[in-house]
Amino acid sequence: MGKLQALSLYADFRKDLNYIEKELERSVDSASPIIRQASLQLLHAGGKRIRPIFVLLASEFGPHSLEDITKVAVSLELVHMASLVHDDVIDNSDMRRGLETVKAKWDNRIAMYAGDYIFSRALHSIGEIELPAVHQLLAKTMLEICEGEIIQIEHQRVANQTIRDYLRRIKRKTALLLSSSCELGALASGADATNVRKLSRFGYFAGMSFQITDDILDITSTDKELGKPAGSDLLNGHLTLPILYVKDDPEFLPYMERAFAQTLTETERSAMLSYICNSGAIEKAEAVSDLYLQKALKEISGLPDSKAKKAFRQIAAFIGQRKY
């Protein structure tokens, strides 16, 4: 959970989150020891569990059933987990959150099958909910996530990208799943249609801000804080918002070329990160992140006052202030 543990919302929803965590463990059980171990490794690596939290909070705006809400929360976290396994294969990443990735501990083939298995378990988890709109939205979400994975591969190590390309990419990578977490949580709880739309838009804008902040922290945080080398996005050939602001600088271009060619030395990596931090690119990216955050807060301003609404505001503050 990271810093979210410090928020009062964690205490308010601790019992429900613990129940979801147990259901996540149960859902990735498999007759195959390798698939089970690979799935549990990713699960136990932790994460902020922000998607289940969004589901739980959104469900508070309707007469929800904890059993149904848990199925939705588990399903969305599994979709997220599966996408991480596939991302690590695409990026050839050996570390995630300070631990070996599934593809590093086993191999690409096991990782891909583990990711597919987790995707399948996500569908199984939500399958018992008798609301067609829930299944339609999850199917659409998974479709767009997969399309986003393909687009990310197509954009890998391609220099002539625009900010619009980037924003479309992170919509599918992060914002869409957070938007769906809010919308599905509200739908499954029987919330009012107007509130469902507001919550969905809150999740989208918060998700955009969350990913931009992630991409900033990839540059400004230490290797230890990240659990992987700082600057990994560019080393893996991904142009994030701060990089897009400096990619055409003549002094920066050699760094980017060597990063793409995977010939960047440790000294050069340090110098590259310092260059970005001193260029003004971080401040520009932070301004865009804050703009999305303000839009997110505007969406929930019209929701009924409640503990869940207060918690969403706390999450927005966390996104805007987090340092790793």
The residues facing 99 across adjacent strands are 96
Residue 5: per-residue pLDDT: 46
Q: How far apart are CA 19 and CA 152, in angstroms?
A: 34
Across the range 306-317, mean pLDDT stands at 91
Gap between the terminal Cα atoms of the chain: 12
Residue 100: per-residue pLDDT: 82
Query: In percent, how much of the chain has pLDDT > 70?
Result: 95
Q: How far apart are CA 218 and CA 225, in angstroms?
A: 10
Cβ burial, residue 277 (10 Å; 0-12/13-18/19+): middle
The residues facing 95 across adjacent strands are 100
Across the range 205-224, mean pLDDT stands at 95
Token pair in block for residue 218: 């990839």
Residue 115: per-residue pLDDT: 86
The pLDDT confidence band at residue 199, using thresholds 50, 70 and 90, is: very high
Residue 274: per-residue pLDDT: 97
Cα angle at 33 between 98 and 2, to 5 degrees?
A: 25
CATH number at residue 84: 1.10.600.10
Residue 46: per-residue pLDDT: 63
Across the range 184-208, mean pLDDT stands at 96
**66-80, 150-164, 273-287, range with greatest mean pLDDT:** 273-287
Largest Cα–Cα separation, the chain: 58
Question: Can you state the percent helix, strand and coil of the chain, rounding each to 5?
Answer: 75, 0, 25
Range scoring the smallest mean pLDDT among 6-20, 88-102, 104-118, 148-162: 6-20
Cα angle at 124 between 210 and 89, to 5 degrees?
A: 50
Domain of residue 192 covers 2-321
Whether the pLDDT of residue 3 is over 50: the answer is: no
Residue with tokens 């709880």: 189
Q: How far apart are CA 43 and CA 122, in angstroms?
A: 13
Across the range 235-258, mean pLDDT stands at 96
- Phi first, then psi, for residue 178 (nearest 5°) are -70, -40
Whether the pLDDT of residue 27 is over 90: the answer is: no
Over the chain, what is the mean pLDDT?
Answer: 89
Across the range 217-231, mean pLDDT stands at 92
Range scoring the smallest mean pLDDT among 36-50, 117-131, 167-181, 283-297: 36-50
Across the range 48-75, mean pLDDT stands at 90
Q: How many CB atoms lie within 10 A of CB 109?
A: 10
Task: Please state whether 48 falls in left (phi above 0), alpha (psi between -120 and 50) or beta.
Answer: alpha
The domain tally of the chain equals 1
Residue 324: per-residue pLDDT: 57
The pLDDT confidence band at residue 10, using thresholds 50, 70 and 90, is: low
Range scoring the smallest mean pLDDT among 145-149, 276-280, 307-311: 145-149
Range scoring the smallest mean pLDDT among 28-42, 102-116, 218-232: 28-42
Helix (H, G, I), strand (E, B) or coil at 89: helix
Of 201 and 68, which is predicted with more confidence? 201
Token pair in block for residue 16: 């429900």
Query: pTM of the prediction?
Result: 0.90
Token pair in block for residue 220: 């400004």
